[in-house]
Protein backbone atom coordinates (compact mmCIF):
# COMPACT_ATOMS: atom_id res chain seq x y z
CA UNK A 1 0.00 0.00 0.00
CA UNK A 2 2.77 2.38 0.96
CA UNK A 3 4.51 1.59 -2.30
CA UNK A 4 1.39 2.75 -4.25
CA UNK A 5 1.17 5.99 -2.28
CA UNK A 6 4.84 6.77 -2.95
CA UNK A 7 4.47 5.83 -6.62
CA UNK A 8 1.32 7.99 -6.97
CA UNK A 9 3.05 10.92 -5.31
CA UNK A 10 6.07 10.50 -7.59
CA UNK A 11 3.83 10.40 -10.69
CA UNK A 12 1.98 13.51 -9.51
CA UNK A 13 5.27 15.37 -9.02
CA UNK A 14 6.52 14.35 -12.48
CA UNK A 15 3.24 15.43 -14.10
CA UNK A 16 3.34 18.75 -12.23
CA UNK A 17 6.95 19.45 -13.26
CA UNK A 18 6.35 18.49 -16.90
CA UNK A 19 3.21 20.63 -17.19
CA UNK A 20 4.79 23.62 -15.48
CA UNK A 21 7.80 23.44 -17.80
CA UNK A 22 5.47 23.20 -20.82
CA UNK A 23 3.40 26.14 -19.52
CA UNK A 24 6.51 28.31 -19.54
CA UNK A 25 7.06 27.47 -23.20
CA UNK A 26 3.49 28.37 -24.13
CA UNK A 27 3.47 31.64 -26.09
CA UNK A 28 0.32 33.63 -25.46
CA UNK A 29 -0.92 36.86 -27.02
CA UNK A 30 -4.05 38.93 -26.60
CA UNK A 31 -5.99 41.01 -29.08
CA UNK A 32 -8.82 43.49 -28.76
CA UNK A 33 -10.75 42.54 -31.88
CA UNK A 34 -13.34 45.29 -31.35
CA UNK A 35 -10.63 47.94 -31.16
CA UNK A 36 -8.91 46.62 -34.28
CA UNK A 37 -12.27 46.48 -36.08
CA UNK A 38 -13.15 50.08 -35.15
CA UNK A 39 -9.71 51.66 -35.52
CA UNK A 40 -8.33 50.03 -38.66
CA UNK A 41 -8.53 52.10 -41.86
CA UNK A 42 -11.03 49.75 -43.46
CA UNK A 43 -13.22 49.85 -40.36
CA UNK A 44 -13.16 53.64 -40.36
CA UNK A 45 -13.97 53.71 -44.09
CA UNK A 46 -16.90 51.36 -43.51
CA UNK A 47 -18.16 53.62 -40.72
CA UNK A 48 -17.98 56.61 -43.06
CA UNK A 49 -19.93 54.73 -45.73
CA UNK A 50 -22.50 53.79 -43.10
CA UNK A 51 -22.72 57.39 -41.90
CA UNK A 52 -23.16 58.70 -45.46
CA UNK A 53 -25.87 56.16 -46.25
CA UNK A 54 -27.59 56.92 -42.93
CA UNK A 55 -27.69 60.62 -43.84
CA UNK A 56 -29.19 59.80 -47.24
CA UNK A 57 -31.88 57.62 -45.70
CA UNK A 58 -32.53 60.14 -42.93
CA UNK A 59 -32.99 62.92 -45.48
CA UNK A 60 -35.37 60.79 -47.54
CA UNK A 61 -37.40 59.88 -44.45
CA UNK A 62 -37.58 63.49 -43.29
CA UNK A 63 -38.90 64.56 -46.72
CA UNK A 64 -41.54 61.85 -46.64
CA UNK A 65 -42.49 62.81 -43.09
CA UNK A 66 -42.87 66.45 -44.13
CA UNK A 67 -45.12 65.42 -47.02
CA UNK A 68 -47.29 63.43 -44.62
CA UNK A 69 -47.46 66.31 -42.18
CA UNK A 70 -48.52 68.74 -44.92
CA UNK A 71 -51.09 66.28 -46.23
CA UNK A 72 -52.59 65.88 -42.74
CA UNK A 73 -52.62 69.66 -42.21
CA UNK A 74 -54.37 70.09 -45.56
CA UNK A 75 -57.04 67.57 -44.54
CA UNK A 76 -57.58 69.28 -41.18
CA UNK A 77 -57.67 72.74 -42.74
CA UNK A 78 -60.19 71.81 -45.44
CA UNK A 79 -62.51 69.54 -43.42
CA UNK A 80 -65.45 71.91 -43.67
CA UNK A 81 -64.97 72.63 -47.37
CA UNK A 82 -64.43 69.01 -48.40
CA UNK A 83 -67.43 67.44 -46.78
CA UNK A 84 -67.68 64.30 -44.69
CA UNK A 85 -67.32 61.75 -47.50
CA UNK A 86 -64.27 63.42 -49.04
CA UNK A 87 -62.66 63.81 -45.58
CA UNK A 88 -63.06 60.06 -44.97
CA UNK A 89 -61.40 59.33 -48.33
CA UNK A 90 -58.52 61.68 -47.55
CA UNK A 91 -58.06 60.20 -44.05
CA UNK A 92 -58.02 56.68 -45.52
CA UNK A 93 -55.42 57.86 -48.03
CA UNK A 94 -53.44 59.40 -45.17
CA UNK A 95 -53.51 56.13 -43.19
CA UNK A 96 -52.31 54.26 -46.27
CA UNK A 97 -49.46 56.74 -46.73
CA UNK A 98 -48.57 56.43 -43.03
CA UNK A 99 -48.36 52.64 -43.40
CA UNK A 100 -46.11 53.05 -46.44
CA UNK A 101 -43.95 55.43 -44.42
CA UNK A 102 -43.65 52.91 -41.57
CA UNK A 103 -42.59 50.26 -44.08
CA UNK A 104 -40.01 52.64 -45.51
CA UNK A 105 -38.63 53.27 -42.01
CA UNK A 106 -38.46 49.52 -41.31
CA UNK A 107 -36.75 48.85 -44.65
CA UNK A 108 -34.23 51.60 -43.97
CA UNK A 109 -33.42 50.21 -40.53
CA UNK A 110 -33.03 46.71 -41.97
CA UNK A 111 -30.76 48.00 -44.72
CA UNK A 112 -28.50 49.67 -42.14
CA UNK A 113 -28.36 46.54 -39.98
CA UNK A 114 -27.56 44.40 -43.03
CA UNK A 115 -24.84 46.76 -44.22
CA UNK A 116 -23.25 46.87 -40.77
CA UNK A 117 -23.35 43.09 -40.53
CA UNK A 118 -21.81 42.68 -43.98
CA UNK A 119 -19.01 45.18 -43.33
CA UNK A 120 -18.29 43.66 -39.92
CA UNK A 121 -18.15 40.10 -41.25
CA UNK A 122 -15.83 41.09 -44.10
CA UNK A 123 -13.42 42.92 -41.81
CA UNK A 124 -13.52 40.21 -39.13
CA UNK A 125 -12.63 37.63 -41.78
CA UNK A 126 -9.60 39.73 -42.75
CA UNK A 127 -8.61 40.20 -39.11
CA UNK A 128 -8.80 36.44 -38.61
CA UNK A 129 -6.54 35.81 -41.63
CA UNK A 130 -3.99 38.35 -40.42
CA UNK A 131 -4.03 36.93 -36.89
CA UNK A 132 -3.52 33.41 -38.27
CA UNK A 133 -0.55 34.55 -40.36
CA UNK A 134 0.92 36.58 -37.48
CA UNK A 135 0.57 33.67 -35.06
CA UNK A 136 2.34 31.26 -37.43
CA UNK A 137 5.05 33.79 -38.22
CA UNK A 138 5.75 34.54 -34.54
CA UNK A 139 5.30 31.08 -33.03
CA UNK A 140 2.36 32.02 -30.83
CA UNK A 141 0.39 29.13 -29.33
CA UNK A 142 -2.69 30.91 -28.01
CA UNK A 143 -4.45 34.21 -28.76
CA UNK A 144 -7.18 35.47 -26.44
CA UNK A 145 -9.67 38.21 -27.28
CA UNK A 146 -9.74 40.70 -24.40
CA UNK A 147 -13.43 41.36 -24.99
CA UNK A 148 -14.04 37.69 -24.23
CA UNK A 149 -13.34 37.88 -20.53
CA UNK A 150 -9.58 38.32 -20.10
CA UNK A 151 -9.18 40.10 -16.79
CA UNK A 152 -5.55 41.10 -17.16
CA UNK A 153 -2.80 40.79 -19.74
CA UNK A 154 0.57 42.49 -20.03
CA UNK A 155 0.70 45.17 -22.70
CA UNK A 156 3.58 43.27 -24.30
CA UNK A 157 1.19 40.40 -25.06
CA UNK A 158 -1.26 42.64 -26.94
CA UNK A 159 -0.97 42.21 -30.72
CA UNK A 160 -3.92 44.50 -31.56
CA UNK A 161 -1.77 47.36 -32.88
CA UNK A 162 0.39 45.00 -34.94
CA UNK A 163 -2.65 43.41 -36.58
CA UNK A 164 -4.19 46.86 -37.16
CA UNK A 165 -0.95 48.02 -38.85
CA UNK A 166 -0.93 44.95 -41.12
CA UNK A 167 -4.57 45.53 -42.08
CA UNK A 168 -3.99 49.25 -42.68
CA UNK A 169 -0.95 48.57 -44.86
CA UNK A 170 -2.94 46.10 -46.97
CA UNK A 171 -5.91 48.51 -47.18
CA UNK A 172 -3.65 51.35 -48.38
CA UNK A 173 -1.99 49.07 -50.95
CA UNK A 174 -5.38 47.99 -52.29
CA UNK A 175 -6.62 51.60 -52.32
CA UNK A 176 -3.53 52.68 -54.30
CA UNK A 177 -4.05 49.87 -56.81
CA UNK A 178 -7.60 51.10 -57.37
CA UNK A 179 -6.40 54.60 -58.32
Residue with the larger pLDDT of the pair 12 and 110:
110
Q: What is the pLDDT of residue 4?
A: 54
Query: Cβ of 140: how many Cβ atoms within 10 Å?
Result: 16
Q: How would residue 25 be classed by pLDDT, with cut points 50, 70 and 90?
A: confident
Domain span holding position 127 = 2-178
Domain of 99: which CATH number? Answer: 3.30.910.20
In terms of DSSP H, where are the helices of the chain? 2-25, 33-39, 41-77, 79-82, 84-138, 160-178
Which pLDDT tens digit goes with each residue over 106-155?
Answer: 999 999 999 999 999 999 999 999 999 999 999 999 999 988 777 677 78
Q: How would residue 6 be classed by pLDDT, with cut points 50, 70 and 90?
A: very low
Q: Is the pLDDT of residue 10 over 50?
A: no
Residue with the larger pLDDT of the pair 13 and 139:
139
Which pLDDT tens digit goes with each residue over 37-70?
Answer: 999 999 999 999 999 999 999 999 999 999 999 9
Q: What is the pLDDT of residue 22?
A: 53
Q: What is the pLDDT of residue 3?
A: 53
Tally of domains in the chain: 1
Q: Exposed/middle/buried for 79, CB within 10 Å: 0-12, 13-18, 19+?
A: middle
Amino acid sequence: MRKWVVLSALIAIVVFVVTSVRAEELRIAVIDVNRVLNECAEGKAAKEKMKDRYKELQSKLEKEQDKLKKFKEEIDKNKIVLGEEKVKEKEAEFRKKMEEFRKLVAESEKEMRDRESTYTKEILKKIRKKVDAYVKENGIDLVLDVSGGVVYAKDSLDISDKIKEILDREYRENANKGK
